[in-house]
Structure 1
Amino acid sequence: MVYGGKLSKACEPCRTRRAKCDFISPECSQCLRTKRKCHGYRDTEGLRISDMSAIVVKKFKARSDEDSTNVPLPASCPDSSESGGPLAISPVLTVPIDDRAFYYFRTTFVIGNARSFRYLESLYEYGDMDDHLSVSIRAVGLASLSKAARSTDLENQAMRSYVAALRMINLAITCSNVATNDTTLSAIMLLDQFEKIIPPTARTTQAWTNHLNGATALMKMRGRHQFETKAGLEIFIQMSSHLLVSCMQHTIALPEDYLTLRTYATNFLDTNDIAWRLSQVTVRYIGFRAAIKSGSLFDTDTIIATATDMDSEMVALMGEFPPEWMPSHYDFYIDYRLAEGLNMVRAGRIPLLDLIREQCEAAPVSSGSCQEFERYQCVQRVKDNVAEMAGLICACVPQLAGYFPFLGTGSSPGSPDSYTAPGSVKDMKLELSNEASAYSLLWPLFTVANSRACPEDVKTWIIGQLRILGKLLNSEQTLEIADGLARGEERDIWSVYALLGSICYSVTGA
């Protein structure tokens, strides 16, 4: 007898879509809402235990016959016909791949360290799992699982689910009622996440923002009603983070429609929260860069003063982090998200500091003048600040990358040499709980090493860490970026942010 496990009493459509069935007679609310035929509820007692002996024996014999044609028996193994004994049957319980993908996704993105899609838990609780959302979750789950298992077959399955989800979303957005649902915007964000895990073969800069452009239009269509639920508010925050990065990547101003929605959102958010205040500085920074690019802001002194003012805001912001958030002697943080948030602020300062240095070095001044001395002092302060941020970011690597089990005792922080990764990457394997945190290190480390003010020894150490993390995460993009840094190539940090994936920061602020 084979025990079938605890079975769901839900109707077949709800079981297939992993929706919460309310068991209302004669049809459940989910089927009524989606206009599907409800097949009724199962009698689980009759299905719980069944006699599978004949089926198991038949499957085993079929497998044995197939294997015997390909694999010869060892000399030490007696012929079954000679022994005359019955075959020993050891059935193995396996978890369906769809279930594994779903739980892998949930562990990584919903309840894991990243928690980028934590609001999906509430959508599932209320049964709001439309088909296009379910298929999108399956695509991302299979994609993540394919990288962890290094499986081409799983990656192909993920691609098929991605294509199916894309087709279903395109159909969903043609209906105004469905287009503005939480599930539709969530599905679009999931496909954006999929493209970070499995990038398209011929990926362009514009391709990264394709889904975001459509989602931005949907944000406008959703209007003020999207703030009425917790899930809707969290979706807005996540979408906002991606929109900010997209505008930084292309050096364009934020759309006025979005800024209007953002202002209204302050009625529902804690505007004293550090994450929100950081995003406010980011909004200013985006407009600042766009003004410089368009030529509407060109005066050197004004540019330096504005950048210095924003940098001062970020310094003040760091000073307001509670003492318990600060690292201990060994830079061990009480929560991974705190280290990730601090690294985001630290890395965010570096492009501002680089801009100040570039303006100081490019501006014509009289030799020996007071202004020349002031510019020299300004450049030195920038270099000191970059070195400080570099040290703090590097000190987070052991915890976020999961090196602690491999570190010797007695080492103290103070230089990158204090944090030596294992001698061989083969000795390491990232735990599931460390994978998202390791991803969160990639962009801050690159930003430090990409700065001309970065000390050379720190840059060399970071390149080594990026190569280790690239192999552990099976990320070809990370390895390519590390090689580019080694060759002395300079790249736009926001394009790299988009390439490496910004999902880890999507819940740190709007």
Structure 2
Amino acid sequence: MVYTGKPSKGCGMCKSRRIKCDEKRPICSQCQKSGRACPGYPDEFDLMFRDENKALARKARKGSGRSEKSQESRSVSPGTPASLRASPIAESSRSQAPPTSEPSQSLTLTPPFTLPSDLSTFQDLLWQFDQSIPPTIVMAPEFEAIPFFFRNFITLPQEAESMRGYLELLIPLYNRAQPSSALHLATSAVALATCGNYPGRQHLLRDAATTYGKAIRKLNEDLKHPHLAKSDESVLATLLFSLYETIMSTDDTITAWGNHVDGAVALTKLRGMDQFDDPMSHDVFRAVRTMMITSCVQRSKPIDSFPGTTGWLASPLSEENAANRLTLICIDLPNIRSRANTLTKTAYHASLEQEALSVLELAQLVDSNLQQWYLTLPPEWHYHTIGIVNEPVEDPATAESWMGEQHVYHDVPLASIVNDYRVCRIFCMRVIMACVAWLAVNPKHNLTADYEKAVYVIQQMVDEISACIPFHMNYDLQPIAKKLGQEKNAAEAYGGYSLVWPLYVAANAETVPQAQRDWLSGRLMMIGTRFGLTSAQVLVLARRHVLTCGPMFP
């Protein structure tokens, strides 16, 4: 593959008419004015990863034709002395010039030229300089994958109140880091892995693995230096490693993902209280905190303490944006789940009743705080109902919508955070149900109402998750993505991947009707099939909750 200039992103009609296309979506203005049918725009991924050898060959043939005419004119000019005219030998050598060599990795002139001793051969040399085409200029895969990755998965619109992950911080830190840094290498690995999951691009996964290995080695070198080990770039590179492991999703990556998150937590603790003096470092701290809580919730692992008087809170709740307030409200949820799991694995004993009641009360407190958080959200965070589906689902594997209301949101990042709220409430309700079931052995505890309320809330949260699935998966329902010119497949992939975690949790809620759970599982598998993932990769993606802690696209 070669690079022959910036490709046109205009519609096919404007290209054929050789006029400038304004690239307005969904239909360009030129076609609209002339009453022509606009055929649409080329896929951005195919534009970036296109084979331009044919284009280069056409240019070569054109240039060759013009030069031959010019050379012939010069050779027969009446004013040209005979001694300067090309000899038959020179003409013969030109006509028998060897074809251009195969593409190579460097820009050189082939065959190698040396200064000749006679004038006729020198003229032939000049002709070859004029006619020879350099070997194909091959762009490294990361130079094409990274812009695609940044445009479609990093530079997405984010409200100030919705920023909490680490990918929002990637652009400023990437720009100030050295090209040979671990952060640049980690970004390249993630970008190549993301693009490599596109159908027909699997060859990029090999480059991704090679770059990932280089990034790991570079970070290990940096960790030997105290200053580099504590830098924002090193922490962010570690978080990107966890994203890479999630995207690649092999059997070995499940443990590796958790290890990278734990590594980022260790580096953050090493940075101590000094990191709060710099706004960027403080934002990196918040991103690590979000990843840590997600990891601990999934593994039912208690959260490690952070050095300092305020611990992981770091700053008053009132100073945090809405997304980070949600994170802090759930900061005790991993410990609550861990205690509940330990309790329910133990047979009932009167001496443990107080522990069960304590866990139950804590779960109810967290759920109450979650409800209050949702009530204080600005209006643009809430969904809008665009229709109601009344027909029951016949085939859970293929149905695009579930029965009931259909919801849309301002954009996918906001919808993802609201879905996280629902997932956290589901976890709280499951803890409550587990504690009530454990205490039910003692008839003096009349907690039936608490159990029934938990079942009702879980169903409500699952219904709301189901209602937003078409929005995430349909480009036509995402006006912000259209306005920014985000590539259709990338926008739908981003929406799909942000659904994986809530879909996984909802599909595993035991109290939800089996038909709805089958449909949710079908949507989960559809995301994998549509975007080139295996069933195992989808499950790993779900358990790692990539996007809301910071995407995972593909």
Contact kept? 2:433, 2:454, Cα under 8 Å: yes
Residue 351 in structure 1 maps to residue 404 in structure 2: no
**Aligned match of 1:300:** 356
Contact kept? 2:245, 2:253, Cα under 8 Å: no
- Counterparts in 2 of 1:296-335, with a 5 A limit? 299-330=355-386, 331-335=407-411
Counterparts of 2:99 and 2:385, CA distance in 1: 59
Counterparts of 1:167 and 1:404, CA distance in 2: 43
**Aligned match of 2:18:** none
Counterparts of 1:327 and 1:306, CA distance in 2: 29
Counterparts of 1:261 and 1:129, CA distance in 2: 37
**Aligned match of 1:275:** 323
The number of aligned residues is 395
**Aligned match of 1:447:** 505
Shift of 1:300: 2.9
**Aligned match of 2:522:** 464
Shift of 1:349: 0.7
Structure 1: gaps spanning 5 or more residues: 7-51, 65-86, 407-428, 482-494
Contact kept? 1:116, 1:504, Cα under 8 Å: no
Q: Tell me which of 284, 288, 302 is aligned to 1:239.
A: 288
Q: Cα deviations across residues 167-193 of structure 1 (Å, max 9, x unaligned)?
A: 111111011121111221121111111
Counterparts of 1:382 and 1:297, CA distance in 2: 20
Q: Cα deviations across residues 279-298 of structure 1 (Å, max 9, x unaligned)?
A: 22211212223344566986
Q: What is the identity percentage for the equivalent residue pairs of Structure 1 and Structure 2?
A: 23
Contact kept? 1:128, 1:183, Cα under 8 Å: no
Distance verdict in 2 for CA 1:477–1:504, change over 3 Å: farther
**Aligned match of 1:110:** 154
Counterparts of 2:260 and 2:221, CA distance in 1: 14
Structure 2 length-normalised TM:
0.63
Contact kept? 1:136, 1:161, Cα under 8 Å: yes
Structure of higher CA gyration radius: 2
- Counterparts in 2 of 1:79-98, with a 5 A limit? 96-98=140-142
Q: Cα deviations across residues 22-46 of structure 1 (Å, max 9, x unaligned)?
A: xxxxxxxxxxxxxxxxxxxxxxxxx
Partner AA of 2:373 in structure 1: L
Shift of 1:457: 2.6
Counterparts of 1:174 and 1:297, CA distance in 2: 50
Structure 1 length-normalised TM:
0.68
**Aligned match of 2:279:** 230
**Aligned match of 1:121:** 171
Counterparts of 1:463 and 1:141, CA distance in 2: 28
Shift of 1:120: 2.4
Partner AA of 2:508 in structure 1: N
Counterparts of 1:174 and 1:164, CA distance in 2: 16
Shift of 1:337: 1.6
Q: Tell me which of 451, 456, 480 is aligned to 1:379.
A: 451
Distance verdict in 2 for CA 1:478–1:112, change over 3 Å: farther
Counterparts of 1:312 and 1:396, CA distance in 2: 24
Distance verdict in 2 for CA 1:129–1:342, change over 3 Å: same
Residue 182 in structure 1 maps to residue 232 in structure 2: yes
Shift of 1:139: 0.8
Q: Tell me which of 350, 354, 360 is aligned to 2:436.
A: 360
Contact kept? 1:314, 1:345, Cα under 8 Å: yes
- Counterparts in 2 of 1:22-421, with a 5 A limit? 61-62=100-101, 96-112=140-156, 116-126=166-176, 130-204=180-254, 206-257=255-306, 262-263=311-312, 265-266=314-315, 270-271=318-319, 273-293=321-341, 299-330=355-386, 331-364=407-440, 371-372=445-446, 375-402=447-474, 404=476
Q: What's the secondary structure of 1:350's corresponding residue?
A: helix
Contact kept? 1:110, 1:117, Cα under 8 Å: yes
User: For structure 1, which segment, 388-397 or 316-325, has the greater mean C-alpha deviation from structure 2 after superposition?
Assistant: 316-325
Q: What's the secondary structure of 2:331's corresponding residue?
A: helix
Counterparts of 1:392 and 1:151, CA distance in 2: 35
Q: What's the secondary structure of 1:152's corresponding residue?
A: coil
Structure 2: gaps spanning 5 or more residues: 7-58, 65-96, 104-130, 159-164, 344-351, 387-406, 479-486
Q: What's the secondary structure of 1:118's corresponding residue?
A: helix
Shift of 1:140: 0.9
Counterparts of 2:458 and 2:375, CA distance in 1: 17
Shift of 1:459: 1.0
Counterparts of 1:3 and 1:460, CA distance in 2: 47
Contact kept? 2:166, 2:284, Cα under 8 Å: no
